[in-house]
Amino acid sequence: MKKTYGWLSAFVLVLLLVLVGCSDSGSKEGATEKEGDGKKATKEGKDLVIAVADNFTTLDPHDTNDTLSNSAEKTMMEGLLGFDEKMTVVPLLAEEYKANDEATEFTFKLRENVKFHDGTPFNAEAVKVNFDRLADPNSGLKRHSLFALIKSTEVLSDYEVKFTLSEPFGAMINTFAHPAALIHSPKALEEFGDEVGKNPVGTGPFKFVEWKPSEGLKIVKNDDYWNEEFPKVDSITFKPVSENGSRIAMLQTGEADFIYPVPTEQVEGVNGKNGIEVDSKPSIVVRYMAMNTMKKPYDDVKVRQALNYAINKDAFIKVVMNGQGEKLDSVIAPDVQFYSQQELYEFNLEKAKELLKEAGVKEGLKAKLWGGNSSSTVKAMEFLQQQLAAVGIEVEVVPMESGTLSDKIWSVQNADDAELELYYGGWSPSTGDADWGIRPLLGGADAFPPKSYNVSYYDNEEANKLISAGLQTADENKRAEAYADVQKLLWEDAPWVFLSADNTLAGKKNYLKGVYLLPDGSLSVSEAEIE
């Protein structure tokens, strides 16, 4: 009988907990209607803690292909050029640059009196050492591909350097501004060799102290920074915290001053409370559903357009993105260079059904939708499944673990063997240039997996011509024209179902200024300031 009471009391206890949980949610709903509590958080000292979602992979920018590690590298190192808050190119270690019309020669005039953290002076020779390292095909660096076109780097004078490309490449200026082109101290490169990724030495506003992959990265103020206005904080510690809930809790308790990312569904719950602000900004991350244009029935443009009409984009943003996004109205997001707006495919079930009928697609078409297995991706795929059911397409959602997924997509050697039908994915062109937002994804047979990311197997001669036209010149007007045409063409040919452009979401205490996310999702902390 004792056991019986044990069970009973356990049951009552759980029931109580559940009831407490319920009543709590009730009171919360009331609170969200108010516009925050207006509290101002305060901070002692000038040491910042930033909680991020992942570990850094390396601190060698030449060998980095994740945005997060780039963010950390940018605090300690600088490139010739950089991006500002709107992702436009601004000069950093270069004062000005010139390019010839064919986009094959680029000359930079460098900033004078800049020193690396180890005392080595910054000059044309240092630039050459870095770009020779990047352009060397035997280096095995992850970012070699961005700079493979550099044929030679010449030192013209102490503060003048000229790059010559092996073929015209109109997007080169943006490539120089990419975080992959950050400059190491030549002394450090020599001293540490392959270990330079653990001992970064640059010209940036912060100096490296220590980095323990599981605990985080610590950097301190560089007192000799060339821009005397900065840095305005003494030290910054980056902590990797993969659990969404813990990151939020760290911000709430003040253990962290800035967190990134904030999960979309948490925004309402924390924004404006306890001195917490959530910054929501448009990003250049696009979300789309790719259709294999070599497979029936998606080889018919009517079917592809029909699917675009069949998806309610407003509902997609509301349900899947929790309102944190904008409808996608081109293949690239508005903040990408040379973006041109297209006319939306308005949600219209009748039109979708009509187009499907014209294309001879019968009710009950079966389709497989592939994608990753994170909860937000699965949610998006389930949403698409529901929407396509309304026009009589039975979609099977197949979430896959990332290893399996890339194996399934990128191990296919011959385009005709591809099993892929529909794929839900996203893309962020981190050079901020239209070229990197279009060519790897839709740039014809050269971009088919496994070479690149053209999972739509889209190969349109006219589009290919326009894409390469955009690269043949450094003339901004000619490039803009070519990209405007290609965007129009791609929009009408609809190799994707165009869904949304994400917002980036970062949470911070409201005493913190100058820490922000760039549209490509990388973090800028150089101008950090505590009020």
Partner 1 sequence: MVELKLSNKEAYYQQTLENIPSKTPFSEFWRKFKKQKLAFVAFFFVIALILLAFIGPFITPYDITEPDYENVLSGPSAEHWAGTDAYGRDIFSRVLAGTQISLYVGLTSVLLGAIGGTFLGIVAGYYGKRIDSIIMRICDVLLAFPGILLAIGIIAILGPGLGNVIIAVAIFSVPMFARIVRSSTLAVKSTLYIEATKSIGTRPKRIIWKHIFPGTVSSIIVYFTMRIGSAILTAASLSFLGLGAQPPSPEWGAMLSGGRDYLNMAPHVTIFPGLAIFVTVLAFNLLGDGLRDALDPKIKE
Judged by CB under 8 A, the residue of 13, 18, 156, 445 near partner 1 is 18
Does position 489 bind partner 1 by CB under 8 A? Answer: no
Does position 376 bind partner 1 by CB under 8 A? Answer: yes
Specify whether the CB–CB gap between 135 and 147 falls below 8 A.
yes
Q: Name the segment binding partner 1 (CB under 8 A); options: 16-24, 201-209, 272-280, 514-522.
A: 16-24
Does position 378 bind partner 1 by CB under 8 A? Answer: yes
Per-residue b or e along 241-272, where b marks 16 or more CB atoms closer than 10 Å to that residue's CB: beebeebbebbbeeebbbbbbbbbebbeebbb
Does position 344 bind partner 1 by CB under 8 A? Answer: no
Where do we find the tokens 């490139």? 79
Specify which residues 288 forms β-bridges with.
425, 498
Site string for partner 1, 293-332 (x = CB under 8 A): -------------------x--x--xx-------------
Total binding residues toward partner 1, as defined by CB under 8 A: 40
Two tokens, residue 439: 């060519």
Judged by CB under 8 A, the residue of 21, 30, 45, 193 near partner 1 is 21
Per-residue b or e along 73-92, where b marks 16 or more CB atoms closer than 10 Å to that residue's CB: bbbbbbbbbbbeeebebebb
Specify whether the CB–CB gap between 438 and 486 falls below 8 A.
yes
Judging by beta carbons within 10 Å of its beta carbon (0-12, 13-18, 19+), is residue 41 exposed, middle or buried?
Answer: middle
Judged by CB under 8 A, the residue of 2, 3, 212, 362 near partner 1 is 3
Does position 14 bind partner 1 by CB under 8 A? Answer: yes
Distance of closest approach, residue 327 Cβ to partner 1, in angstroms:
15
Does position 269 bind partner 1 by CB under 8 A? Answer: yes
Does position 252 bind partner 1 by CB under 8 A? Answer: no
User: For residues 177-216, which are near partner 1 according to CB under 8 A?
Assistant: none
The backbone torsions φ and ψ at residue 390, rounded to the nearest 5 degrees and listed phi first, read -70, -20
Does position 29 bind partner 1 by CB under 8 A? Answer: yes
The backbone torsions φ and ψ at residue 196, rounded to the nearest 5 degrees and listed phi first, read -65, -25
Q: Which is nearer to partner 1, 322 or 460 (CB)?
A: 322
Q: Which is nearer to partner 1, 14 or 156 (CB)?
A: 14
Q: Name the segment binding partner 1 (CB under 8 A); options: 135-143, 397-405, 458-466, 473-481.
A: 397-405
Cβ atoms < 10 Å from Cβ of 387: 22
**Of all helices (H) and strands (E), which one includes residue 463?**
helix 461-469
Distance of closest approach, residue 427 Cβ to partner 1, in angstroms:
23
Does position 274 bind partner 1 by CB under 8 A? Answer: no
Distance of closest approach, residue 39 Cβ to partner 1, in angstroms:
19
Distance of closest approach, residue 463 Cβ to partner 1, in angstroms:
34
- Which residues neighbour 306 within 8 Å (Cβ) at sequence distance 6 or greater? 351, 352, 353, 355, 356, 359, 361, 391
In angstroms, rounded to a whole number, what is the distance separating the alpha carbons of residues 23 and 174? Answer: 53
Q: Answer positive or negative: Cα dihedral of 477, 479, 485, 490.
A: negative
Does position 408 bind partner 1 by CB under 8 A? Answer: no
Q: How far is CA 307 from the centre of its chain?
A: 26
Does position 382 bind partner 1 by CB under 8 A? Answer: yes
Taking 3-state DSSP, the helix, strand and coil percentages for the chain, each rounded to the nearest 5, stand at: 35, 25, 40
The backbone torsions φ and ψ at residue 495, rounded to the nearest 5 degrees and listed phi first, read -70, -10
Does position 495 bind partner 1 by CB under 8 A? Answer: no
DSSP code, position 63? G
Distance of closest approach, residue 405 Cβ to partner 1, in angstroms:
13
Q: Name the segment binding partner 1 (CB under 8 A); options: 271-279, 385-393, 479-487, 501-509.
A: 385-393
> Residues in the site for partner 1, rule: CB under 8 A?
3-4, 7-8, 11, 14, 18, 21-22, 24-26, 28-29, 32, 245, 263, 265-266, 268-269, 312, 315, 318-319, 373, 375-376, 378-379, 381-383, 385-386, 389, 396-399
